[in-house]
Amino acid sequence: MCEERITTMNKAQFDAVCETAKRAAVMHTAADTLEWDERTGMPHKAGAYRAEQVAALRSEVHRIRTDSEYGDALAELEAGLDDLDPRSDTASTVRELHRDYERNRRLPADLVRTLALATVRGQQAWDAAKKANSFSQFREPLAEILKLKREQAACLQVDSDRTLYECLLEEYEPGGCEQQLRETFAQLREPLVALIAAIQQSDRQPDLSSVQGPYSLDSQRVLSRHVCEAIGFDFERGRLDETSHPFCTTLGPDDIRILTRFDKHWLASGLFGSLHEAGHGMYEQGLRADWFGLPPGSYASLGVHESQSRLWENQVGRSREFWQWLLPQAGQMLGEPLKSTDLDEIHHAVNAVRPSLIRVEADEATYNLHIIIRFDLECDLIEGRLQVDELPDAWNARYESDLGIRPTGDADGVLQDVHWGAGLIGYFPTYTLGNLVSAQLYESAQHQISDLDDQIAKGEFSALLEWLQNNVHRHGRCHDSDSLVRAVSGQGISHEPLVNYLKSKLENLYGI
Amino acid sequence: MCEERITTMNKAQFDAVCETAKRAAVMHTAADTLEWDERTGMPHKAGAYRAEQVAALRSEVHRIRTDSEYGDALAELEAGLDDLDPRSDTASTVRELHRDYERNRRLPADLVRTLALATVRGQQAWDAAKKANSFSQFREPLAEILKLKREQAACLQVDSDRTLYECLLEEYEPGGCEQQLRETFAQLREPLVALIAAIQQSDRQPDLSSVQGPYSLDSQRVLSRHVCEAIGFDFERGRLDETSHPFCTTLGPDDIRILTRFDKHWLASGLFGSLHEAGHGMYEQGLRADWFGLPPGSYASLGVHESQSRLWENQVGRSREFWQWLLPQAGQMLGEPLKSTDLDEIHHAVNAVRPSLIRVEADEATYNLHIIIRFDLECDLIEGRLQVDELPDAWNARYESDLGIRPTGDADGVLQDVHWGAGLIGYFPTYTLGNLVSAQLYESAQHQISDLDDQIAKGEFSALLEWLQNNVHRHGRCHDSDSLVRAVSGQGISHEPLVNYLKSKLENLYGI
């Protein structure tokens, strides 16, 4: 830890709050380990007891994090921060831990418990409703969750300038502002819609057979592991496993686990899924281990987290240079049709743009339209401008107007994502924030690493990873997303770099 | 839960202590899950933080289990047990929880912590010393552990009639008596030595090629899974994985995990290892789930646990009838040489008796001699009759006198087992207790299930498993090992059934 704090703060008190936060992190990561196990290999019937174990650990975390002595010490420490650089490790630790404490203590234990139960039931109801392709089964649980989330937001709404939605968004994106998101998304939307329309009218459409395979799952596994190792995911401090809903989880400073899924008939699923999760994983591996469990050793926000996954998946993984390096090896590993695909073909195939119904399968250009729809709808739901009963129609109308296609049923429409059923409201915009930030960061990296494209064409990724470590990872939560992007690129979060990046790549590929 | 208690006890108080014990079990099994993960797939560098997580959870368990209010409630409840059947669920719950509480609270927190650290270091030192084939590296850590274990035993020695050794044994084998073990082991030793000598002089020795393979690991995996399923291990409530040191662990009432290892050149390792661990696993799966975390839903003792593993491994798995069923299928799965091995050959091969240096590779007849040596030596160490410096010579002398072979070095001698380095003193005799009990139980099962041999020859194991569930599993810890065996067989733990079983099988195979 750095020395800056000793002169200005009560060192013993600072160390004590750090110890408390680290104790909570030990229990928190233990719970995450149990959840990782649940989503990989836990026996079929073990779910009920596993839920008890996880709940007991999460309660213990909550108990530690809402202890009033801990809160008092944080308040005292924060009052003495005046002369410290607000981005210093010490000031950030105190400020962010205090912010978390204040959020946690404002939530009545009853509400926390009711919400936990409602979201478990919500996910189960969502699952059943999706299988039955029927929103009506999900209507009541969702209404209950929305009611509770509004209550939660009201508890958190200390400052009446903040909207209810912002109070929820804050959980995932510290400092996030609804109005600013709305403006940025509008600026992004217009050029994207124009670009997508031009692409649809182009007569230069990609041949997708090289992505459709089929390729054996075993050879795809070997390829994914190879690519993750090549870009710098450290397998001595992590694992790559398989699951039905890919994710990344941190079980300790040296234990970062990524999970993906493979599809015989869609190479992109496993390969870009692995790149995406490895991007998340390398962010976690790049955080400072000596600050593990404390804000300087934690990710800045979900938006910044997503920027790291999207940067490796898209800016790197869907670049021509990346395939210049990978194609010969991947062709050897997977065989035909990839083996006889040429560089231009594969580059176009992995950048195919097609308006589609399902967010997680969307291409880079249409993806953000999916997010903007969800953002608008969830704001309306929380603020009471839209009723739950009106949601499916509102959803379908927006898909028709924004993407030109209409869901065939609720399963590929309003029921496609688990988030709302899990109580994750205010989470969706972090996906688009991630896309914006990834483009901004990559633009800066390209300016600062002069031969970056050449390096990638040779399969050399270490300079880029090191740049990300120095400019993003090592700062942990000392910055929020906007100030981080500003520190790196000289401007706040903006739509321009993403639009420029997509236009320059896609107009070229589609001959626009 | 049964009604018996309501009339005689304070129901609310009883329920409260049960809730506390179950809360400890939730944390305990969470820690066990983290340890399972550590021994299966945890990333290489994640060990240090994992140790912190497990230690935090174990401390929480200790805190819950030594809470003085909990102890007071147990003492009050136990004082009111007079008119209850001591083997009833209620009486057993109170008695066993109180016994555990009394043991736990007698250990000063300092000693618990020092011992925990010393045994972590002890295992590391053991590992290094074994690799270096040099006892001298292990001498000091072992001396430290023995000193602490003597202190621990002294804390637990409430009754001066109990030896220090018994106070340690009690942890693994409730009610175990050193003198009685010594007598039983002496009665077992004499006929075993005579039997082994006769076997060595026989000119009818088995051909081991059918066990030596080589067989592919994948086909062995398929075989092991098939056999575990056939005997009744429930894969909806459990898993079979691989590890370097096989074990079985219970992560919840419906989550019992067994682990084995496979050797291309030794079929017995994986196959009998799987049967052994599945035996442990089916015991855990047969415990009453509604009493999970409480004595009626816990195993009786390590000796009884080992009886379940050994029964499936040996009495079943090394029987002629078992191979009558398995050989044709196993031959198909593994191919040559097993495919053209006949029943008599494989039956003799899996029952080959050869004095050897390594306990875990020992056959059924010589195995107990390995245990008796360890039992004698660890009693002498704890009681101060043997000094640590004298241990290697004492070990080698006993192998020469008891088994007729002398270790070539410390690694295949005194350093072969981790137990002492892990502080597990008083644990070894439970292995031989398990062998004795397995033979006694199986003798009873054969009397009570008239066509058991025929069933096994047809691959029907459910009657035997059900018999074990009814006669052993469902009793949990309402019995100790001796009273359980007495309830099933009409006599206490004795050497005779094991000797009779081994003599009848081995004299026949070796033509004695």
Q: What is the 3-state secondary structure (H, E, C) of A237-262?
A: CEEEEECCCCEEEEEECCEEEEEECC
Using the Cβ of B205 and the Cβ atoms of chain A, whether some distance falls under 8 Å is answered with no
Residue B383 lies in a domain: no
Regarding whether B332 and B263 lie in a shared domain, the answer is yes
Regarding whether B213 and B167 lie in a shared domain, the answer is no
B45 interaction partners in chain A (CB closer than 8 Å) = 236-237, 254-255
Using the Cβ of A33 and the Cβ atoms of chain B, whether some distance falls under 8 Å is answered with yes
Our count of domains for chain B comes to: 2
CB atoms within 10 A of CB B183: 12
For residue B388, give how far its alpha carbon lies from the nearest alpha carbon of chain A (Å): 38
Residue A28 lies in a domain: yes
pLDDT of residue A450 exceeding 80: yes
Distance of alpha carbon A277 from alpha carbon B110, whole angstroms? 44
**Is A57 in Cβ contact with B30 (below 8 Å)?**
yes
Q: Name the average pLDDT for chain A.
A: 94
A237 interaction partners in chain B (CB closer than 8 Å) = 43-46
A364, A404, A396, A367: which is closest to A201 by C-alpha? A404
Q: Which residue from A49, A56, A239 is facing B253, i.e. has the nearest CB? A: A49
Regarding whether B220 and B153 lie in a shared domain, the answer is no
Domain boundary among B171, B201, B221: B171
**Is B49 in Cβ contact with A30 (below 8 Å)?**
no
Using the Cβ of A51 and the Cβ atoms of chain B, whether some distance falls under 8 Å is answered with no
pLDDT digits (tens, 9 = 90+) for A353-362: 999 999 988 9
Using the Cβ of B228 and the Cβ atoms of chain A, whether some distance falls under 8 Å is answered with no
Domain boundary among B120, B144, B171: B171
Which pLDDT score, from 0 to 100, does residue B124 have?
A: 83
CB atoms within 10 A of CB A298: 22
* Beta-bridge partner residues of B375: none
Tokens of B509: 């195979």
Regarding whether B111 and B234 lie in a shared domain, the answer is no
Domain boundary among B145, B171, B197: B171
Regarding whether B71 and B159 lie in a shared domain, the answer is yes
- Relative to beta strand B255-260, strand B247-252 is antiparallel
For residue B509, give how far its alpha carbon lies from the nearest alpha carbon of chain A (Å): 41
A254 interaction partners in chain B (CB closer than 8 Å) = 43, 45-46, 48-49
Which pLDDT score, from 0 to 100, does residue B39 have?
A: 84
**Is A53 in Cβ contact with B255 (below 8 Å)?**
no
CB atoms within 10 A of CB B408: 11
For residue A21, give how far its alpha carbon lies from the nearest alpha carbon of chain B (Å): 14
Local confidence band at A4 (pLDDT 50, 70, 90 cut-offs): low
**Is A53 in Cβ contact with B252 (below 8 Å)?**
yes
- What range does the domain containing B304 cover? 209-353+430-510
Which pLDDT score, from 0 to 100, does residue B177 have?
A: 93
Residue A65 lies in a domain: yes
Residue B135 lies in a domain: yes
Residue of B nearest to A289 (CA): B49
A238 interaction partners in chain B (CB closer than 8 Å) = 43
Buried-state track B462-500, b at ≥16 Cβ within 10 A, e below 16: ebbbebbbebbbebbbbbbbbbbbeebbeeebbbebbbe
CB B322 within 8 A of CB B54: no
pLDDT of residue A482 exceeding 90: yes
* Beta-bridge partner residues of A248: A258
A253 interaction partners in chain B (CB closer than 8 Å) = 49
Type and span of the H or E element at B257:
strand B255-260
Residue B237 lies in a domain: yes
Q: Which residue from B52, B57, B255 is facing A49, i.e. has the nearest CB? A: B255
The residues of B carrying an active-site annotation are 277
B292 interaction partners in chain A (CB closer than 8 Å) = 49
Please state the rounded mean pLDDT for residues A342-367.
96
**Is B34 in Cβ contact with A252 (below 8 Å)?**
no
Taking every pair of Cα atoms in chain A, the longest distance, rounded to a whole number of angstroms, is 69
B50 interaction partners in chain A (CB closer than 8 Å) = 252, 255
Distance of alpha carbon B111 from alpha carbon B65, whole angstroms? 16
Which pLDDT score, from 0 to 100, does residue B83 have?
A: 82
Active site residue A277: yes
pLDDT digits (tens, 9 = 90+) for A133-153: 999 999 999 999 999 999 999
Q: Which residue from B27, B41, B255 is facing A42, i.e. has the nearest CB? A: B255
**Is B26 in Cβ contact with A52 (below 8 Å)?**
yes
pLDDT of residue A6 exceeding 70: no
Residue A199 lies in a domain: no
**Is A292 in Cβ contact with B49 (below 8 Å)?**
yes
- The secondary structure of B154-177 as a DSSP string is HHH--STTS-HHHHHHHHHSTT--
Distance of alpha carbon B201 from alpha carbon A20, whole angstroms? 68
Residue B403 lies in a domain: no
pLDDT digits (tens, 9 = 90+) for B49-98: 998 899 899 889 999 999 999 999 999 999 988 788 999 999 999 999 99
Indicate the DSSP class of residue B420.
G
Name residue, tokens 């003198």: B179
Residue A386 lies in a domain: no
Using the Cβ of B333 and the Cβ atoms of chain A, whether some distance falls under 8 Å is answered with no
- B263: CATH: 1.10.1370.30
Q: For residue A6, how many C-alpha atoms fall within 13 Å in the half-sphere facing its CB?
A: 3
**Is A46 in Cβ contact with B237 (below 8 Å)?**
yes
- The secondary structure of B192-251 as a DSSP string is HHHHHHHHHH-S-PPP-HHHH----HHHHHHHHHHHHHHHT--GGGEEEEE-SS-EEEEE
Ramachandran class of B476: left when φ > 0, alpha when ψ lies in -120 to 50, beta otherwise: left
pTM for the predicted model, two decimal places: 0.92
Local confidence band at A7 (pLDDT 50, 70, 90 cut-offs): low
Low-confidence ranges of chain B (pLDDT < 50): 1-3, 6
CB atoms within 10 A of CB A322: 23
**Is A239 in Cβ contact with B56 (below 8 Å)?**
no
A256 interaction partners in chain B (CB closer than 8 Å) = 43
For residue B410, give how far its alpha carbon lies from the nearest alpha carbon of chain A (Å): 32
* Total CB pairs under 8 A between chain A and B: 96
Tokens of A90: 């010490």
Tokens of B116: 């925990």
Which pLDDT score, from 0 to 100, does residue B325 have?
A: 98
For residue A284, give how far its alpha carbon lies from the nearest alpha carbon of chain B (Å): 14
Using the Cβ of B33 and the Cβ atoms of chain A, whether some distance falls under 8 Å is answered with yes
